[in-house]
Structures are given as structure tokens and as C-alpha cells.
């Protein structure tokens, strides 16, 4: 799987003023974890939205397996996200009226997977993130760390080759943060993981870090190869 950005530009209008949120961003994301870091307003969330096809660039292009995203219709981009991408957000975004099992099974339902198969797959994923005993609990009966693990299991439901994580540990206590981080990096193996975070300690665990400043890629830092 390849995910590549070429000369991305994003401008916004604020009244009479034009704001450049991202400019000249070029990077090919390899398999493994890439952390995107920088101060507030540096363009991190803008970049994630463009990479995921949630927003269109003002210039430049994003390519998924060589396919440019900008020419695709809204429906086609939504279908590509369903099949190729998984998302883990800071706010979890679980459906409150569904159980953990049903939340994880939901993307499989959208993909047309039969009931028995999707529930079995969802149960397997929840077991893999240590929540096999919480299958039938709604989000309101789960801790923050448990809800984030459900969100991670849901992101993996269709075995996507690309994972996006936007401040995935920001609302968690220290113990839950470590559990979720360990699972996230484990599941990044063999996938492209783009991790947006303010947490430099978390970012240091990624294979590489992209530092944004003022909407531009300031530098790329690689972690030493592990033996």
C-alpha cells in the first residue's frame, strides 16, 4: 500500500483574509508508524483531512496506490475510506446506542458482510484488544481506555492498509494511554499508520516523525533501526 502527498496546498478564507493552512507538503508514507507533530495551528489536522480525502486540497494531490483522490466523487472517496482506511479519534466517536460488539461490527455492516460473519469478526477483534469480556457493554459502561480500544478494534474491522489516528491517547489516563499506544503500534505493523499528536513521548515511539511549522514540513526525523 502506498500513500503519497505531492506539493499539498490548502487555503481558507476568513472574511477578507486568506489563510494558508498547509503549503508545499510532499512526503511518501511508508509502512509503519509516522507521527505528525507541531504546535497548534501548524497544519496537522488539515494534513490528516487531506490525506484521508475528507477535504480537497487547494493545490497538489494525494495518491492512494497511485490513485489521485481529488478527481473522485464524494461517494467514491467515502467508499475508498471504507475499504482502505481506518480511523481512531481522540473523542472515540462510538455510537452510544450500540454495544461494543455492534460498534465494531458496524463498518462490516456497511461493507455488506453477513450478520454471523461480522459479529464473529467483531468478537475476534475485541478479544484481540483485551475486551472479550465487554462485548455487550454500551460505551457508557466502558472506561475511556476501553472505549478507545473499541474504537481501535472498529478501525481494524475491514483490515485496512492505512490507519489514521488523531490524538488517540489525549483523553486517557497514564495506564490506559500505555495500553492503547502499545496496541496501536502493534497493529501498525504491515500497515501505514499516520499518527497526529502533541505528545512528543508518544511520537518518539514511531519509526519517523514529521515536524510541521507554519503549515510547512520543517523536518523529518527517523528513529534508529531496532536490532
Q: Which domains does the chain have, with CATH numbers?
A: 3-220 (3.40.50.300)
Residue 158 has pLDDT above 60, yes or no: yes
- As a whole number of angstroms, the distance between CA 207 and CA 226 comes to 10
Q: Quick one: pLDDT band at residue 227, thresholds 50, 70, 90?
A: very low
Residue 117 has pLDDT above 50, yes or no: yes
- As a whole number of angstroms, the distance between CA 206 and CA 194 comes to 10
- Confirm if 100 and 143 have CB atoms less than 8 A apart: no
What pLDDT is recorded for position 225? 67
What pLDDT is recorded for position 170? 86
Percent of the chain past pLDDT 70, that is, above it, reads 98
Kindly report the pTM of this predicted structure: 0.93
When pLDDT is averaged across residues 32-42 and rounded to a whole number, the result is: 94
What pLDDT is recorded for position 2? 86
Amino acid at each position: 500500500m502506498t500513500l503519497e502527498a505531492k506539493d499539498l496546498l490548502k487555503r481558507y478564507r476568513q472574511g477578507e483574509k486568506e489563510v494558508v493552512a498547509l503549503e508545499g507538503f510532499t512526503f511518501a508514507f511508508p509502512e509503519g508508524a509516522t507521527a505528525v507533530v507541531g504546535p497548534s495551528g501548524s497544519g496537522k489536522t488539515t494534513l490528516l483531512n487531506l490525506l484521508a480525502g475528507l477535504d480537497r486540497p487547494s493545490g497538489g494531490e494525494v495518491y492512494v496506490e497511485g490513485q489521485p483522490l481529488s478527481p473522485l466523487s464524494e461517494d467514491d472517496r467515502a467508499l475508498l475510506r471504507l475499504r482502505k482506511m481506518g480511523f481512531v479519534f481522540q473523542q472515540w466517536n462510538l455510537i452510544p446506542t450500540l454495544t461494543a460488539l455492534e460498534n465494531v461490527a458496524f463498518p462490516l455492516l456497511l461493507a455488506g458482510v453477513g450478520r454471523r460473519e461480522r459479529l464473529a469478526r467483531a468478537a475476534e477483534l475485541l478479544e484481540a484488544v483485551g475486551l472479550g469480556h465487554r462485548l455487550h457493554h454500551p460505551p457508557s459502561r466502558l472506561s475511556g481506555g476501553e472505549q478507545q480500544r473499541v474504537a481501535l478494534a472498529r478501525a481494524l474491522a475491514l483490515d485496512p492498509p492505512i490507519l489514521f489516528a488523531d490524538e488517540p491517547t489525549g483523553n486517557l489516563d497514564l495506564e490506559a494511554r500505555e495500553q492503547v499506544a502499545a496496541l496501536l503500534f502493534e497493529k501498525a505493523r504491515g500497515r501505514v499508520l499516520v499518527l497526529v499528536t502533541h505528545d512528543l513521548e508518544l511520537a518518539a515511539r514511531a519509526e519517523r516523525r514529521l515536524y510541521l511549522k507554519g503549515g510547512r514540513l520543517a523536518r523529518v526525523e527517523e528513529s534508529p533501526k531496532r536490532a
